Structures are given as structure tokens and as C-alpha cells.
Amino acid sequence: MTMYLWLKLLAFGFAFLDTEVFVTGQSPAPSPTGSTAAKMPSVPLSSDPLPTHTTAFSPASISERENDFSETTPSLSPDNTSTQVSPDSLDNASAFNTTGVSSVQTPHLPTHADSQTPSAGTDTQTFSGSAANAKLNPTPGSNAISDTYLSASETTTLSPSGSAVISTTTIATTPSKPTCGEKYANIPVDYLYNKETKLFMAKLNVNETVECEKNNCINNELHNLKECEQISLSIFHNSCTAPYRKLKLVVPPDVEKFQLLDCTQDEKANTTICLKWKNIKNFTCDPRNITYRFQCGNTTFNKKEIKLENLEPEHEYKCDSEILYNNHKYTNTSKIIKTDFGTPGKPQNIVCKSEAAHQGVITWNPPQRSFNNFTLCYVNKTEKKCLILDKNLTEYDLQNLKPYTKYDLSLHAYIIAKVQRNGTAATCNFTTKSAPASQVQKMTISMTSDNSMHVKCGPPRDRNGPNERYYLEVEAGNTLVRNESHKNCDFRVKDLQYLTNYTFKAYFHNGKYPGEPLILHKSTSYNSKALIAFLTFLIIVTSIALLVVLYKIYDLHKKRSCNLDEQQELVERDDEKQLMNVEPIHADILLETYKRKIADEGRLFLAEFQSIPRVFSKFPIKEARKPFNQNKNRYVDILPYDYNRVELSEINGDAGSNYINASYIDGFKEPRKYIAAQGPRDETIDDFWRMIWEQKATVIVMVTRCEEGNRNKCAEYWPSMEEGTRAFGDVVVKINQHKRCPDYIIQKLNIVN
């Protein structure tokens, strides 16, 4: 205790004598806590001689500490960098196991951030040592307090004339600063689009406010950036050292050039959602750097287009979508989509029945799901009808049905949303009751003899019952003379009265009701057997008289036949003498001569024409009279002579194929200049055009009409303007022009073989 009291008094003595020791050393590295560490001055505890040279002391370990002792170490401030020791601090001192020197050390000192201010006080003592850094090592066998690197500001030794030695040190941590490239290795960047200026703002997502070389970074933001623009940045901060973070910004394309579309098909809109991003305008950015992301519920899609299936109808679904460019998000949107109405359910408890021939009824319970209306269809073998029914109906009466007909009914609900969705149909069927059949059809009555009839008819259009039977009633006046029934409508009624009018009634019976009868009237004939006997007698008498007359004619013809040849020869010799001598008509009087001869209904022209023999006997006409050529001649007495007839090319296997009723006519000093031909018949039109082609005729003059005096004079051998083209055998005729003049018609034709 005596030693302790002396130490305490010694400390107070130094305080009164203004012998406080100031710290002159400083720590260059700021500590994270912002406080500056300092060491307490050591106090000599014995009278051992001190060494005269300067040395740095290592702090000794605490050998003893009482549990009731405490010590306080105030933090250093820029205004007060010296360490103040409270009076109670010496009570916690322990002796250091050093040779001739003991000191008191302050444990666990905090440091002040960014404090580099040296000690401000002055010291009256003389220090012979200079500042040096040392690591405080615990002595062997003692408990180590700290292994922190400390900075000793100054270690001093009192001159030998002094009685005490005081050592002063400052303790501070020295962590190294990271590089800016390491600290800001991963910087998230957000791009914000301004719709008014059409420009972007890039925001650097870091905690500190960083600075950018050669760029205007304001609060970690870069403004007025154009789409697809590329900018290189150097980012730094006073909390990090070089090298700086090199960052390249690639501005994304214009947000308004992307549009989120609903691509859901209307047919699948009740269970499917389709969303896709569409580029509506071009841009210069690399599209490979664009990433699309959808978040629908708990599912994420990294696609440009998504399709969600098997969804619930009439439900709302929310999908969040964003576009990233170079993994930097720059636009996002949310879309709430409601699926379309679902397919209605099946009508329940459907029942249908019929209690009449033309009526039926159907009842049902509506389905559970939403719907607009019902569609009711009823079908038989020949027709189908569909009706739209109100959604509130549960019963419907069918009218105007066909009797004894099976109807298949189907009822389904439908809803009109994006498309019409038809629910599952409920079906049932019924058969209507029987009714009278319609009339039989196509009833005919034919006579098989003078007093016998054959009656036939077809089935009715509507039988309206389960069975079929045909009935025939025959009446004479008001008297029923016959009543027959058959499975088929085929009746033979015999032994009726001659020359009597009968009424025939035929109808169909369907097993339930007789149908409406079809009524026809027919009369029997006279008794032909008596007439035949009379006619036979008359024919025999007439035949005998005819034979007598024929014999007399034959006998008379035989007597005159001997002179027939001679008379024929005389005609043949005088046929040219019958021709009238017609003088040539001078051109100057042609019109006057024509008017004179045409007067009195053309009497003079007719006389000239009649003087011409039909056939000149001195020229043979053998080809025209051959049997296979007879049908090619319009008249039997207007035939071409063999010597000047037009011969067609022969067709193998066709007898008479070279014949046509046409003759050559010589022109003025030009033999065979013209061809005179009869008006073609329907059978000879092909031959006529074959002649035109083979003779290379270019002009056809038709001097007759197709029909004169109700007699056919010429077949129409040319196509009409409406028809255009017609083929006649191997020759194809095409009409190019049809020009009508007052007294004649001009047509231009083109022929191709």
C-alpha cells in the first residue's frame, strides 16, 4: 500500500508541475470507427539506473489485476489529441516485468476516423529519441492484450540527471483501402425513359455518391441519353483507390418502340393467355442484347412471347413483364387479363314426348355455368330445323310436325363472348302420332280391252302411319260397281260395260286412317269384235276391186311401153331448141331492161327460166344418181353433170365422199372460174366447207334465203356473232364481221383446217 500511495502522489505532482507529456506522433491510416488511439505515459517504479541511449519499449503484460479496479480511455478529438488520465487510472496500474522500468498501458483504444492531426501541446521535457513504428509484443509467460499494429509517435529517454523516464506512444489500426475497380465491380444500372424528351436517364445504384471522370454525374445519375448511345465512364470515390472502375453504358432502345400485345386467340381465350412484345419501330441497338422477362404468379419466363394454358375461365390473371438491355432493366409493365367465358355445361334432365300428330314438347333444367341462350335442333329423315330459345325457358312446344315421324332432338346452351362457345348437347327423341295419309300420286288409267282398265298409281308423299294398303273404288254414275284393295297400287278392272263412263277413286290406308282419294274418269270403248268382222268383209271387197283396176292399168302401160324409148330420144334431141334466144344486154340499157322484164311479177324472166330444161339429156349424171349420193341432193331434178362437177378429195372407206352437188362455170376466157352449188343441207355442210378449203374459194355469194315460202332453201352454214367460232368437220370457221346493208348482208369469215 505504501508503494501505491507514493505512485499516486507522484502522478499528482507531475500534474501540478505542468509536466504532461504530449503525443507528437500520428497515424496516417484512418480507422473505421473514427477515433485516434493513444498510449499512456509510463512512470518509473524503481531507482535502478536507466540506460543513457534511446530505445523503444515493448508493452509488458499485466501480471496482476484486482477485480474492483476500472479505467476510462477517452477518445481523441481534433481539438484535443492528448490523452488525459483520470486520477483513478493509476489505481489500475500494474508493475511491468522490465529491467529497471515499469509503465502503465491503456487497453483497447478506439481511433477517430480521418483524424490526422498531431498533438497540439508542448512538452517541457527534453526528448532525445525520434519517432519510430513498433509492434507491441507481449512478454513471455504473460497474457496478451492485443496483437494490433500500433504507431509509436515518439520514444524518449530522460537524461541521466533526471530521476524518472516517461515513454509516450499513439496506437492506431492501419487497414488498406480497396481499389475502386474492386469496390464497384458490380454496379446495377437503371434506365428511366422520359416520354416528353424521348431521352433516357441512367441511375447508378450504389450507396455512396460517386464521381465520374469527364462526365457529368449528378447524384449518381446521367441525363439526356439517346437510345442505343454508348458511353464509357471512370467511377471513383475517396473511399477507394486507383485503378478506377471502368464502366461502359449502352443505352437501350426507345421504350415506345416496344408494345406489349395480347396475342390470345379468340377461340382459346377462355383457358389460354398469350402475351408478346412486338417491335413496332426500327432501332440500331443490337437485338441480341435484349432480354424479355415475364412474371405470372410464381412462374418466370425469359421469353419474348408466353402462352399460358389450362387456365380457369372468367378469372383474372396478372402478369408483370420487363425488358432488359445488357441485363439492365429499363422498362416494365403489368397487365391484368381476364379469361373469356367458359363453355356452358350440358342441359340436365332433358325429356321429350309427343301426344299428337303435329305437336311435341321438350323439358329440361338449365346448366350451371353462364350462358346466353339455347339452341334447339330437331331432325327427321328429310329435314332439319334449329331454333334459338331464351335462356330462361325450361320447356318448349314444337308445332307443325309431320305425323308418324321420328324426331331426334338436341339442345345445347351457348354463350357469345369473343367467339360463340357451344356447350355439350343433350339429346332425346320421340315419334309423333298417326294421321290420314296424303293423296296417291301419278295415277294412270289405260285400256287393256274395249271394256277392261289398268289402273296404276304411286305412293303418297306422306303416309303418316305404320302400314300401307291401296284401295280402288269404281263407280258408274252413283253406283259402286267395284271395290278392291292391294298391297301395291296396281289394279286390273275387267268386264265393264261398253261405251260407259266410269269414276275411279284410289286412296291409301295407313292402318289407322284412310287417305284422301284421287279421282279420275274414263270411258270404255265400243265392241270392236263386231266392227272387225264388218271391216274384214269390206277389205275383201275393196281388195278385189283394186286388183281389177291394177290389172287394167298394167295392161294399158304394157301397150304403150314399146314407144317410150323413141319418144325419149326425141326429147333429148330437141332440149336445146327449147331454149329462148336471149340477146346480151348493153350496159347503158341494163336498168331499163331489168325493169321491163321484172314487170308483171317477172313474167319475162319466168319465161326465160322455164325454157331451160331441168336436165340436158346429152350430159350424163351418173354420180349424182348413185344411191349413196341421193341424200346429198336437195332436189331430184337439179343435179350436177359428171363432166363439170366439183370433185372432193376421197376419204378412205367412205363411199361417195368425193361428191357434192356443185358444178364449175367458165368465166370470160377463164375456164372453171366460178362454182355453182346448191344451198347446203344439214348433211352436206361439212362437205361444203371442205370444198371451199380445197378449191381455195375466197368469196361466197348466197342468192337465196335460208327459208322462202315456208320451204327450206339453205341450211345456216356459218357461225353467229354470239357463237363466234364453229367447227365443221376438220374446218374451223370464225366470224370476224357482220355488216347489214339495205338489200344484202356482208360477213367476213376466217377458216382454218
Of the listed ranges 59-68, 317-326, 433-442, 715-724, the least confidently predicted one is: 59-68
What would the mean pLDDT of 581-590 be, rounded to a whole number? 88
pLDDT digits (tens, 9 = 90+) for 112-145: 334 333 333 333 333 333 333 333 333 344 333 3
How far out from the chain centre does Cα 393 lie?
A: 38
536 is a domain residue:
no
Residues 289 and 262 in one domain: yes
- More confident: 585 or 578: 585
**Averaged pLDDT of the chain:** 77
Residues 66 and 165 in one domain: yes
CA distances to 597, 599, 600, 637 from 606, in Å: 9, 11, 10, 18
DSSP secondary structure, 679-724, as one string: PPPTTTHHHHHHHHHHHT-------S-SEETTEE-----S--TTT-
Query: Which among 494, 528, 562 is the end of a domain?
Result: 528
Determine the residue type at 213: E
Residues 478 and 623 in one domain: no
Helix locations, 318-465, DSSP H: none
481 pLDDT exceeds 60? yes
**Cα–Cα distance measured from residue 482 to residue 504, given in angstroms and rounded to the nearest whole number:** 9
Q: How confident is the model at residue 6 (pLDDT cuts 50, 70, 90)?
A: low
319 is a domain residue:
yes
14 pLDDT exceeds 70? no
**Cα–Cα distance measured from residue 412 to residue 441, given in angstroms and rounded to the nearest whole number:** 40
What would the mean pLDDT of 454-472 be, rounded to a whole number? 90
- Ranges 143-152, 526-535, 573-582, most confident: 526-535
34 pLDDT exceeds 70? no
156 is a domain residue:
yes
pLDDT on residue 102? 36
Q: How confident is the model at residue 660 (pLDDT cuts 50, 70, 90)?
A: very high
405 is a domain residue:
yes
Least Cα distance to 430 among 401, 400, 409 occurs for 409
Whichever domain contains 323, its CATH number is 2.60.40.10
Residues 238 and 290 in one domain: no
552 is a domain residue:
no
Q: How confident is the model at residue 363 (pLDDT cuts 50, 70, 90)?
A: very high
Of the listed ranges 54-63, 357-366, 681-690, the least confidently predicted one is: 54-63
What would the mean pLDDT of 413-432 be, rounded to a whole number? 92
pLDDT on residue 91? 38
In terms of residue numbers, what domain contains 309?
255-338
To the question of pTM greater than 0.95 for the whole model, the response is no
Show Cβ contacts of residue 170 under 8 Å, excluding neighbours closer than 6 positions: 23, 25, 26, 27, 36, 37, 38, 39, 150, 151, 152, 153
703 pLDDT exceeds 70? yes
Residues 153 and 280 in one domain: no
Residues 398 and 450 in one domain: no
**Cα–Cα distance measured from residue 191 to residue 205, given in angstroms and rounded to the nearest whole number:** 11
Q: How confident is the model at residue 555 (pLDDT cuts 50, 70, 90)?
A: confident
Of the listed ranges 105-109, 515-519, 549-553, 617-621, the least confidently predicted one is: 105-109
Mark residue 355 as left, alpha or beta (left: phi above 0; alpha: psi -120 to 50; beta: remaining).
alpha
Backbone angles phi, psi at 376, to 5 degrees: -110, 125
Residues 291 and 352 in one domain: no
1 pLDDT exceeds 70? no
- Ranges 15-29, 91-105, 553-567, most confident: 553-567
pLDDT on residue 135? 33
CB 485 within 8 A of CB 469: yes
pLDDT on residue 216? 72
747 is a domain residue:
no
pLDDT digits (tens, 9 = 90+) for 353-362: 988 888 999 9
Residues 411 and 451 in one domain: no
476 pLDDT exceeds 50? yes
Query: Which among 567, 589, 612 is the end of a domain?
Result: 612
Q: How confident is the model at residue 618 (pLDDT cuts 50, 70, 90)?
A: confident
Q: Coil, helix or strand for 591?
A: helix
pLDDT on residue 511? 86
N-to-C CA span, the chain:
155
Of the listed ranges 37-41, 462-466, 730-734, the least confidently predicted one is: 37-41
**Cα–Cα distance measured from residue 750 to residue 753, given in angstroms and rounded to the nearest whole number:** 10
- What is the total count of domains within the chain? 7
**Cα–Cα distance measured from residue 718 to residue 733, given in angstroms and rounded to the nearest whole number:** 7
561 is a domain residue:
no
Place of cell 337439179: 638
The cell for 116 is 490526422
Q: How confident is the model at residue 560 (pLDDT cuts 50, 70, 90)?
A: low
167 pLDDT exceeds 60? no
CB 504 within 8 A of CB 474: yes
pLDDT on residue 214? 67
Whichever domain contains 696, its CATH number is 3.90.190.10
pLDDT digits (tens, 9 = 90+) for 186-243: 888 888 889 899 899 989 889 889 888 766 788 889 899 898 988 888 888 888 998 8
pLDDT digits (tens, 9 = 90+) for 208-221: 898 887 667 888 89
Query: What's the sign of the alpha-carbon dihedral 625, 629, 633, 639?
Result: negative
- Ranges 390-404, 525-539, 563-577, most confident: 390-404
Q: How confident is the model at residue 174 (pLDDT cuts 50, 70, 90)?
A: low
Residues 44 and 111 in one domain: yes
Residues 401 and 483 in one domain: no
215 is a domain residue:
yes
- More confident: 537 or 330: 537
638 pLDDT exceeds 60? yes
Backbone angles phi, psi at 57, to 5 degrees: -90, 145
Q: How confident is the model at residue 88 (pLDDT cuts 50, 70, 90)?
A: very low
pLDDT digits (tens, 9 = 90+) for 260-277: 999 999 889 989 999 999
Residues 605 and 621 in one domain: no
Q: How confident is the model at residue 582 (pLDDT cuts 50, 70, 90)?
A: confident
Residues 148 and 266 in one domain: no
CA distances to 570, 609, 639, 641 from 613, in Å: 14, 9, 12, 13
The rounded percent of the chain whose pLDDT value lies above 90 is 41
Query: Which among 157, 176, 195 is the end of a domain?
Result: 176
